């Protein structure tokens, strides 16, 4: 029962495979989820540009939708559709809400669902 410490050093082959598999899984997860958040940052920047537009609260809903659509086309944002955009437009008040979700397949029947809800408000209600 008295073993020397020479025989108990290092990782076994099975533990090494397990650690490498775990690292590979998280790298794969990052490669699948990373582009989703990159597209989301493009959506947020498009909303920020809409918010900075002078007299945006005076534009019509169609003009605002067209402006967002053009910005999404330029930045190659495919996850947001016109149905995901809600515009509340009153006299001197504008609220634009973009609520969407993205499902990305990881491996086999394993998928990841990411939900986003972004809002800007301009003017006084």
- Domain residue spans of the chain: 8-123
- Report how far residue 97's alpha carbon sits from residue 78's, in angstroms, rounded to the nearest whole number: 17
pLDDT higher for 34 or 55?
Answer: 34
Residues 6+ apart with CB under 8 A from 19: 11
What is the Cα 75 distance to its own chain's centre? 14
Please state the pTM of the whole predicted model.
0.78
pLDDT of 18-40, one tens digit each? 999 999 999 999 999 999 999 99
123 and 57 Cβ atoms separated by less than 8 Å: yes
Residues 6+ apart with CB under 8 A from 34: none
CB atoms < 10 A from the CB of 100, how many? 19
């Amino acid at each position: 029962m008295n073993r020397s410490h020479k025989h108990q050093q290092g990782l076994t082959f099975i533990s090494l495979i397990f650690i490498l598999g775990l690292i590979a899984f998280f790298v794969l997860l990052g490669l699948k989820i990373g582009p989703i958040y990159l597209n989301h940052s493009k959506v947020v920047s498009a909303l920020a540009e809409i918010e900075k537009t002078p007299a945006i609260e005076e534009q019509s809903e169609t003009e605002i939708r067209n402006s967002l659509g053009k910005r999404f086309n330029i930045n190659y944002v495919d996850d947001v559709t016109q149905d995901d955009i809600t515009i509340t437009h009153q006299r001197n008040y504008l609220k634009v809400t973009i609520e969407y979700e993205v499902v990305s397949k990881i491996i086999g029947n394993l998928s990841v669902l990411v939900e986003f809800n972004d809002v800007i408000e301009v003017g006084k209600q």
